[in-house]
Amino acid sequence: MFPLRLVRGYRATDLGRWLLTAIAAATTAAFLLRSLGRALGEPAATSVPRLLWCLPALAAVGWLAAAAARAVPAQHPERIAGLAAAGYGPGRIRLLIAVETALAAALGSVLALLLFLVLRNDIAGPELAADLGMGTRLPAAAPVTLLVLVPLVAGLAAAAAIPLDEALPGTPAAPPAVGFHPVRIAVPTGLTVVGMALELYGLRPGAEQDGRPVELPAHLGSVGTAALTGWAFTALGLALLTAPLLALAGRLLALHRPGPVRLLAGRSLTAEARRLATPLAVLTLGLAVLTAALAYGDDPDVPVTVAVLLLVGCAVGAVAARALEIHAARREITATLVRLGTEQRTLTAAAAARAGAAAAVLLFTGGLTALFAAACLV
Amino acid sequence: MSAAPPDNDVLWARGIVKSHHGTPALRGVSLAVREGEVLAVTGPRGSGKSTLLGCLSAQLTVDEGEVWFHSSPVHTLTRAGREKLRRERFGWVGSEPHLVPELTARENAALPLLLAGAGRRAAHTAAVEWLERLDVADVAGLRPAELTQAQRQRIAVARALAPLPPVVFADDPGAPLHREEREQVLRILASAARSHGLTLLLATHDPEPAGQADRTLTLVDGRIAGTATAPAAGSTAVTAAR
């Protein structure tokens, strides 16, 4: 197969992308198979929430596949140029990367299915019997349908993530947009403020009589409607504010007579704020929820732990993919700076300053999100 | 190792051999560049002009041969030493502007001075001065993406000239420009070199800039095929008298 033959030219980063996608797909497939196994022996009503639990896992796989696929054209410009010279249009290049991602996901799913079938073969002890649906006949179409879902989601996400104009070489990169539309700042700020107010209202001293009608999953207890809605607004607003805040941090870094280090670090952070913000915001939100849940929830059971690990792993993988993408896209700028005689020390210091400023922003948004989540759960 | 080259040569190279992944680009080039000289290197595409400028400007390391800058060896320098040389002694204009996209035109032009440790105010004053001379002072506050290719190339020229480096390398600086623009940029480079006593090495594949140069080297397939001294007696006499 053509996508597989192209793999021969791959380096460690690409194999890492494959491996991460395959592992995430295998974990998601295991979730799907577990809910299938349970459904074989239980009434239909109880299996729906279990299937719903698979949705975040599927979304995480799609997110990882999208972020990883988006980084491919920037990382392999010579390959894209070669394919384009051989007559591959943007659509087919997109298809190629999507098929490659789907293959990695299919590999993981098949491994999970094999493990499921082996375990069903009376190897697993009685504690896993219910999860595997042991003792009941397995309808052949069910595991196949479930497993096709994971590669399909990964492949579609990958295909949708690659912008057409960036897929072809020679097309000049769009100028980094500077500044944000006022609406882009006003809406998240409004969301955050309204969310905070709503949550504080929900947590006011006399709020006990309102009751706590919303039962949270994973033994996190119950919360009031106003507090939960307020927290959701706050978290969404802060996540959307990440990009403008990163750009602002870049501006602050280059403020007041900057030397080369602060100038390069600050301006590049402002320029890359949009590209950096999305995966970082997702990771920060995930970590904030996790921190609050760990601090105030009961001990989670094994499937919940695995799900959380999968979500965080995919979010970390997406951040790494985006970082590699930006690094690859800025290769030429770095080459220019090196040609001008920029010391390695200056470049390293600029990268460190940029990372420090970004970390400060994420600590702020993540800290606020975690704080308000914790306030809900107390 | 042979004795150090003559003192009045800014750059001196002997028997440079350089290949890119097995493809030979330079097969034994020797040359001497005098101080304040405008030297044009011509030749067809693929004749090794860019590689020669890369080796002389301490961007590339030579496979064989020697490169000396002002009686000190360049071919034995470490990476940090070559970076320092490029930062403090050499200016570079490429065939593409290669500006840093998130910096304004003024900041781009001031960047080499800032990297060399100059104060911010001095760097910006010098940058603006050169942007004015190159007729792009009115766009000093804009980013490269908002400018035309010709304006960008002028900013790249200003970036190379603002620190007044002893040697300026220009690798086909007119490539992205129209004929008129190209001639103007070359004229500015040559006259800046003459008025400030800078040494200019100019690689180009069209014979036009020979008029601006004191001496023209022709490269063919990585070897020097010929040297011509400019007929315009004035500058030649000056170089000869040194």
CB atoms within 10 A of CB A110: 16
CA-based end-to-end distance of chain B = 27
Q: Which residues of A touch B94 (CB under 8 A)?
A: 339
pTM for the full predicted model: 0.83
Q: Give how far A22 is from chain B: nearest CA, Å.
A: 36
pLDDT of residue B238: 36
- Separation of alpha carbons A187 and A162, rounded Å: 27
Q: Give how far B102 is from chain A: nearest CA, Å.
A: 6
Which residue type does A371 have?
L
Return mean pLDDT, chain A. Answer: 84
- Separation of alpha carbons A312 and A299, rounded Å: 18
The DSSP H or E segment spanning B216 is strand B215-220
The DSSP H or E segment spanning A240 is helix A225-253
Cross-strand partners of B204: B42
| Percent of chain A at pLDDT exceeding 90 | 33
B18-51 pLDDT, tens digit per residue, is: 998 888 888 888 888 888 888 888 888 888 888 9
Q: Give how far B240 is from chain A: nearest CA, Å.
A: 32
Q: Which residues of A touch B120 (CB under 8 A)?
A: 257-259
pLDDT of residue B1: 47
pLDDT of residue A234: 92
Say if residue A296's pLDDT is above 80: no
Q: Looking at the partner chain, which of A271, A339, A346 has a beta carbon nearest the beta carbon of B92?
A: A339
- Separation of alpha carbons A31 and A34, rounded Å: 5
> Are residues B56 and B86 in contact, defined by beta-carbon separation less than 8 angstroms?
no
3-state secondary structure of B201: strand
B46-90 pLDDT, tens digit per residue, is: 888 889 999 999 898 888 888 989 888 888 888 888 998 898 899
Interface probe for A, chosen from B93, B115, B120 (most Cβ of A below 10 Å), is B115
Which residue type does B69 have?
F
Phi, psi (degrees; rounded to nearest 5) at A99 = -65, -40
Asked if B112's CB is within 8 angstroms of A267's CB, the reply is no
Residue of A nearest to B90 (CA): A340
